[in-house]
Structure 1
Amino acid sequence: MIRLDNLTKVFDTPKGAVVAADHISMEVPRGEICVLLGPSGCGKTTTLKMINRIVRPTSGKVFINDEDTSGLNTQELRRNIGYVIQQIGLFPNMTIEENITAVPRLLGWDAKRYKERAREMMAMIAMEPDAFLKRYPSELSGGQQQRIGVARALAADPPVMLMDEPFGAIDPINRAVIQDEFLKMQQDLKKTIMFVSHDIDEAIKMGDRVAIFREGKLVQYSTPDDLLAAPKNAFVESFLGEDRALKRLNLVKVREVMSHEIGTVTPDDSLETALQRIDDYGYQNAIVMINDRQRPTGMITRAIARTTKGYCRDHFQGIPAAVHLDDDLRKVASLMFSNDMTWLPCVDDDERIMGQITQRAITHHLGSRHRVAEHSVADQNTGV
């Protein structure tokens, strides 16, 4: 949907020519978010601004939906690209409704249509239309203003959006909320987005792909998991940080790692049966007890099953925690550490038992993924 072909920008300065973007070539598939990441002055914002011609390229081309944009009128180009910036840029003398509908009005939409669109957008960003549409930007908090900025960029339903550190000025709590809301919107909208960030954690969370820049050059362009598993060189590895393996925990869901094989007992089973199943499944410590609706209600420890007689219903312990199939491994690891456990039961949305996840399985998954990605990068570098 977005293709950059040797896009280059050279600025003339009193000290001579400065190459801000050096022959950048990359493609962003339709419906994906690409995050441009790198240290200050690396060329990521310049590259973004060349797409809607806020910065004019020195050479190279920008294609949107396979159309060379160099032949398009600048105003027409910009009206078909949503643009969100860190400073938000709302018009202070306009109401929220007027801000959101600025581009639709320029495009000649009739009043009924653009007013309805404003209400749709407010609902989409989880703000009550009747409470906010007639207010002015100064009457809103910073986080609310940022949401309005996103709504304005989406109002004319552009196929492409550019976002320049859109959440950078918001406090961490509100930033996380807005990021989550935006990702939920993106699941339905499927916009093609280029997104500048200086925050590695944000890039990993928001991006389908991440582009690492250094001194005007595109150094590595990968999925977040490939980037973290196999950085291309020492610069990328250093930029990502020594905890890059832990960052990968955010990218993997429980359903990708869990085992569907899990032994269970019922309240009416004997402790002797529980011990036999612990041994059969090779468990070290305990087995899950479930009720007639397949929901975990407790666990029987090996120590109890081995030294006590009776039934499971009379000797079970509570399960400190369970995880859902779409939880990420960071949450799993946190629960394991805080509860001093090496395994956790996995449940579906109806809280029914679906399997188990272990520390060993997590370690194996991360390690094997690292090796695959490392070999892939090595093959690319050798031309295989």
Structure 2
Amino acid sequence: MIQLDNLTKVFETPKEAVVAADHISMNVPDGEICILLGPSGCGKTTTLKMINRIIQPTSGKVFINDEDTSGMNTQDLRRNIGYVIQQIGLFPNMTIEENITIVPKLLGWDKNRYKKRAREMMDMIAMDAEAFLKRYPSELSGGQQQRIGVARALAADPPVMLMDEPFGAIDPINRAVIQDEFLKMQQELKKTIMFVSHDIDEAIKMGDRVAVFREGKLVQYSTPDDLLAAPKNAFIESFLGEDRALKRLNLVKVSEVVSADIGSVRPDDTLETALSRIDDFGYQNSILMVNDRHQPAGVITRAVARTTKGYCRDHFQSAPPVVRLDDDLRKVASLMFANDTTWLPCVDDEGRVSGQITQRAMTHHLGSRFRSRPDNSASIRPDSNAAKE
């Protein structure tokens, strides 16, 4: 959907020529979010702004859906690209409804259509149309204004969106909420988005692909998992931080690591039976007790099973926390640390045990990915400077 072909920007100053973006070549597939990441002054925002010609390129081309945008009227180009900035940029003298519908009006939509669209957008960003459409930006919180900024960018249903640190000015709690809501919208809308960020965690969470810039050059363009598992050079490693293996916990779902091979006992089983089944799973010191619906009901420890006689129903401890298939490993690790355990049961939507996830399996999964060290430059066009670097 978006193709940058040797896109370059040189700022001329009285003393020297400053290369802000140096022959950037990359492709962003339809329906994906590409995060532009890097330290301040690396060229990521300059690259973003050349796409809608807020900054005019010195050389190179931008293609959107295979169309060379250099021949397009600038106003037409911008009206077909949603744009969201950190400062939000709502017009203070316009109501929320007027802000959201400004581009549809410019595109000639009739009144009923753009008013209906405003309400649709309010539903999409989880804000009550009746309560907010007639208000002015000054009557909204910063987080609410940012949501309206996103709604305005989406109102005309553009195929492409550009976002320049859109959530950077919001407090961490609201930022996480808005990020989650935006990702839910993206699952439905499938827009093609280029998104500038300086936050590595945000890039990993939000991006289908991440482009890392340094001194105007594109250094690496990869999926988040490839970026973390196989950084291209020492700069990327340093930029990602020494905890990059832990950052990968956000990217891996329980479904990728879960094992269906989990032992269990019933309340009417003897402790002798429990001990035998614990021994069958030698790396665990306890076993799950399940009820008649195969839901977690408690835990029998090895120490109790070995030293006590009787039935499981009389000697169990509280059931451990459970995880679901679509949870990420960061949640799993947090629960394991908090509950001093090396395994957790996984349950389905009805709460029935469907498997288990162990610390050993998590470690093996993450470690095997690092050991494989795949070629991570496949997404960079072979004629780009980044590929040659």
TM-score where L is the length of structure 1:
0.97
Offset of residue 331 of structure 1: 1.1
> What's the secondary structure of 1:62's corresponding residue?
strand
Aligned to 1:203: 203
Partner amino acid, structure 2, of 1:45:
T
Distance verdict in 2 for CA 1:50–1:155, change over 3 Å: same
Residue in 1 aligned with 2:232? 232
Deviations 1:256-295 (A, max 9, x none): 1111100111111111111111122334311111111111
**Root mean square deviation, CA, Å:** 1.6
Cα pair 2:222 2:376 within 8 Å, conserved: no
Query: What is the deviation of 1:375?
Result: 4.0
Quote the residue 2:158 is aligned against: 158
Residue 342 (structure 2) pairs with residue 342 (structure 1): yes
**Matched residue type, 2:156:** A
Partner of 1:45: 45
Which of 96-105 and 335-344 deviates more? 335-344
Counterpart-to-counterpart distance in 1, 2:6 and 2:263: 57
* Residue 134 of structure 1: aligned partner: 134
Asked if residue 266 in structure 1 is aligned to residue 254 in structure 2, the reply is no
For residues 97 and 264 of structure 1, the distance between their equivalents in structure 2, rounded to whole angstroms, comes to 57
- 1:298 partner SS: strand
Structure 1 residues 137 and 378 mapped into 2: Cα distance closer, same or farther (>3 Å)?
A: closer
Matches of 2:123 and 2:162, distance apart in 1? 22
Q: Secondary structure in 2 aligned to 1:376?
A: coil
Report SS of the residue matched to 1:177: helix
Partner of residue 189, structure 1: 189
Percent identical pairs in the alignment equals 84
- Structure 2: distance between partners of 1:243 and 1:222: 18
Q: Which amino acid aligns with 1:362?
A: M
Q: Deviations over 1:51-103 (max 9, x none)?
A: 00111111111011111111111111111100000000001110000000000
The answer on 1:177 being equivalent to 2:177 is yes
1:306 aligns with 2:306: yes
Aligned: 1:55 with 2:62: no
Q: How far apart, CA to CA, are the structure 2 residues paired with 1:72 and 1:295?
A: 61
Give, as a single letter, the amino acid of the residue that structure 1 aligns with 2:200. Answer: I
**Which residue pairs with 1:113 in the alignment?**
113
Equivalenced residue count is 382
3-state secondary structure, aligned to 1:84 = strand
> What secondary structure does 1:310 align onto?
coil
What does residue 77 of structure 1 align with? 77
Maintained 8 Å contact 2:222/2:377: no
Question: Does 2:361 match 1:376?
Answer: no
Residue 97 of structure 2 contacts residue 134 of structure 2 at CA under 8 Å; is this kept in 1? yes
**Does the residue aligned with 1:23 lie in a helix, a strand or coil?**
strand
Structure 1 residue 277 corresponds to structure 2 residue 277: yes
Q: State which drifts further: 317-326 or 157-166.
A: 317-326
What amino acid maps onto 1:376 in structure 2? D
CA distance in 1, matches of 2:359, 2:247: 16
Counterpart mapping for 1:141-152 below 5 A: 141-152=141-152
| Counterpart residue identity of residue 248, structure 2 | R
The 1:103–1:180 alpha-carbon spacing in structure 2 relative to 1, beyond 3 Å, is same
**Structure 1 stretches (4+) deviating beyond 6 angstroms?**
378-383
In structure 1, what is the Cα distance between the partners aligned to 2:145 and 2:213? Answer: 30
Which structure is richer in relative contact order (CA contacts within 8 A, separation 6 or more)?
A: 2
Query: Residue in 1 aligned with 2:256?
Result: 256
Report if aligned partners of 2:220, 2:377 keep a CA contact under 8 Å in 1.
no
- Partners of 1:238 and 1:158 lie apart in 2 by 37
Counterpart contact for 2:300–2:315, Cα < 8 Å: yes
- Residue 376 (structure 1) shift: 2.5
Distance 2:377 2:311 in 1: 57
SS at structure 2 position matched to 1:34:
strand
Q: Structure 1 residues 319 and 216, CA, compared in 2 at 3 Å: closer, same or farther?
A: same
Give the aligned residue type for 1:215: E
Distance 1:81 1:288, change over 3 A: same
SS of 2:375's equivalent in the other structure is: helix
1:151-172 Cα distance to aligned partner (Å, 9 max, x none): 0000000000000000001111
Q: Distance in 2 between matches of 1:281 and 1:129?
A: 56
> Offset at 1:303?
1.3
Q: Residues 226 and 374 of structure 2 are in contact (CA less than 8 Å); yes or no, is this contact kept in structure 1?
A: no
CA distance in 2, matches of 1:282, 1:309: 21
Which structure 1 segments of 5+ residues have no match? none
Q: Secondary structure at the match of 1:226?
A: helix
Give 1:378 shift. 9.5
